[in-house]
Amino acid sequence: MAFSECFGCLGVLCLAFSATSVNAGDPAPASEFAPTIPNKTPPPGPAPEGMVWIPGGEFSMGSQVPSEEVCTKATMNAVNDAQPIHRVYVDGFWMDKNDVSNEEFARFVAATGYVTIAERTPTKEEFPTAPPENLVAGSMVFTTTPQPIWLHDYTQWWRYVHGANWRHPTGPGSNLRGKEHFPVVQVAYADAAAYAKWAGKRLPTEAEWEFAARGGLSGKNYAWGNEYKPGGKFMANTWQGEFPVKDTGEDGFAGIAPEGQFPPNGYGLHDMAGNVWQWCSDWYRPDYSSQLAPTGGVTRNPQGPPSSQSPGDPQPQRVERGGSFLCTDQYCTRYLMGTRGKGDIDTGCNNLGFRCVKTAPAREAGKGKPSL
């Protein structure tokens, strides 16, 4: 694929396009969701620093928010790749309370000398048809538009910026001073996986991520319930104002927020909706839910499909979850629980980060069977 074409794909990946429009106070959608059945087995020991225990168990996975007659062309049928609802079981695991921060990622880089993909100069071998002027290290950056626009062409607000990387999230003129506790962004999948390995952790599967994000609830629109602003209170960092002209920051933040600024979900996890997208380990296929549902019963610890496939996009892609500060009911409402995003594995952008999980130690022989 030509490097210039890649730029367009990158914007798609980071914003993960379409989603259903749901307004504050909307009633719960008609549901095929069954109750979540958490494991009763206690944690295997003290929590690792900065992590919480996710008990695992059986739950209904997917999204059933209606999409007809409430969507623009850009957001139509956004939940199709998260349907049908299907039952899944995951083992218990530890999960980071927050997304990995700039400070934490800096410690990793200092210890290992790791160079992220956005910091590496693209080569002619990798992109043989790219003009030489495009072979410059950088990454995708969201840019507001001066006036309202028709939301049919995401390249109007995404651009490839030379010198943009995790140290300079929006380009060479930006830095991390005073942002040590903001989530690290501009990390491609390989960068996130390298950090997780160094930390003795791993990236979550999509099923683990959704089980954790639901916080013990079943079939709710959001990680906290069915109302977008319960009691008039913002519960996540998303976009207010006209997109993509100006984020008015009514939720307290215009742009990325520091970690932990909104209430945690039922498992003690912050920012499982909005702020920054989060990488998952699964390859992306839009029909993966459909592949699992016909098996009947409960799928145990799904790891995702063996490879990625996305019609019209030949690039290898992994799942992203949670939405970001750019999500809005005008264009991208992927903060809705159960909805899915996707990203080229060699791509970072300034609204994409990650958090890690840690597999629980094997239990004594004869005690490993989950208690439901």
Which stretches within the chain are classed as H helix? 3-15, 102-112, 189-198, 206-214, 288-292
User: What average pLDDT is seen over the chain?
Assistant: 86
Residue 69: the pLDDT is 34
Element holding 41 (H helix, E strand): none
| Per-residue pLDDT, 78 | 63
Q: Which CATH superfamily is domain 1-372 in?
A: paralog of FGE (formylglycine-generating enzyme) (3.90.1580.10)
pLDDT computed for residue 117 by the predictor: 97
Query: Where do the structural domains in the chain lie, given as residue ranges?
Result: 1-372
Mean pLDDT, range 170-189, rounded to an integer = 98
Q: Work out the pLDDT band at 239, boundaries 50, 70, 90.
A: very high
Rounded distance between C-alpha atoms, residue 129 and residue 138, angstroms: 18
| Tokens at 167, concatenated | 């140290």
Q: How many CB atoms lie within 10 A of CB 74?
A: 18
For residue 371, the model assigns a pLDDT of 33
Closest C-alpha to 191, from 208, 203, 175, 209:
203
Read off the pLDDT band of 105 (50, 70, 90).
very high
Confidence of residue 314 (pLDDT cuts 50, 70, 90): confident
Q: What is the Cα Rg of the chain in Å?
A: 20
Structural contact between residues 310 and 333, judged by C-beta atoms closer than 8 angstroms: no
Q: What is the pTM of this model?
A: 0.87
| pLDDT at residue 281 is higher than 80 | yes
Whether the link from the prior residue into 84 is cis, omega within 30° of 0, is yes
* Banded pLDDT at 154 (limits 50, 70, 90): confident
pLDDT (tens digit per residue) in 49-104: 999 999 999 999 998 765 443 344 434 456 788 889 999 999 999 999 999 999 99
Which positions ≥6 away from 123 have C-beta within 8 Å?
135
Distance CA 35, CA 207 (A): 16
Query: What pLDDT digit, counting tens, does each position of 110-146 carry?
Result: 999 999 999 999 898 887 877 788 799 999 999 999 9
pLDDT of residue 334: 87
Q: Is the pLDDT of residue 178 over 60?
A: yes
Distance CA 139, CA 32 (A): 41
Enter the tokens of residue 150: 């028709």
Q: Is 311 a residue whose pLDDT tops 90?
A: no
Q: What is the DSSP annotation of 80-115?
A: GGG-S-EEEEE--EEEESSPPBHHHHHHHHHHH---
Query: Looking at this protein, which amino acid is placed at residue 159?
Result: R
